Amino acid sequence: MLLLTYHKRSGSLLYRGARKQYINSFILSHFYGIMPYYQAWEEFARAAEKLYLTDPMKVRVVLKYRHCDGNLCIKVTDDAVCLQYKTDQAQDVKKIEKLHGKLMRLMVSKESHSGAMETD
């Protein structure tokens, strides 16, 4: 039986699947444990940054590049919520690399703000 719960960390309504994994509600599939790929980059970037800010120590960012298949995949997860974006377009490389850099800078800076970019 699918239960609908409010996941505080990501601020969204999620299904609680059989394997105790949270599936984002906008995926209408009933398969348990499926990790949704975002279709829109903007949405993914916003959700990723939001997830990081809720608990910086828990979140990790994974980048996987396959030259032989010509695709790049970025994943941001805190082991409860998993956000993924996959692409085969060259124009997305810059966006992904920028987000990666932004998160890296957030990690090394002393957290005293909520996502605003600091100018050194």
Q: Are 36 and 24 in contact (CB under 8 A)?
A: yes
Q: Measured from the CB of residue 79, what is the shortest distance to another protein in angstroms?
A: 11
Nearer to another protein by Cβ, of 30 and 60: the residue is 60
Q: Measured from the CB of residue 25, what is the shortest distance to another protein in angstroms?
A: 27
Nearer to another protein by Cβ, of 30 and 98: the residue is 98
Q: Measured from the CB of residue 95, what is the shortest distance to another protein in angstroms?
A: 12
- End-to-end CA gap in the chain: 52
Q: How far is CA 59 from the centre of its chain?
A: 9
Binding site for another protein (CB under 8 A): 56-57, 59-68, 70-72, 87-94, 97-98, 100-101, 103-105, 107-111, 120
Find the radius of gyration of the CA atoms of the chain. Answer: 15
Decide: residue 58, CB within 10 A, 0-12 exposed, 13-18 middle, 19+ buried: middle
Nearer to another protein by Cβ, of 42 and 79: the residue is 79
Distance CA 55, CA 51 (A): 7
Nearer to another protein by Cβ, of 16 and 102: the residue is 102
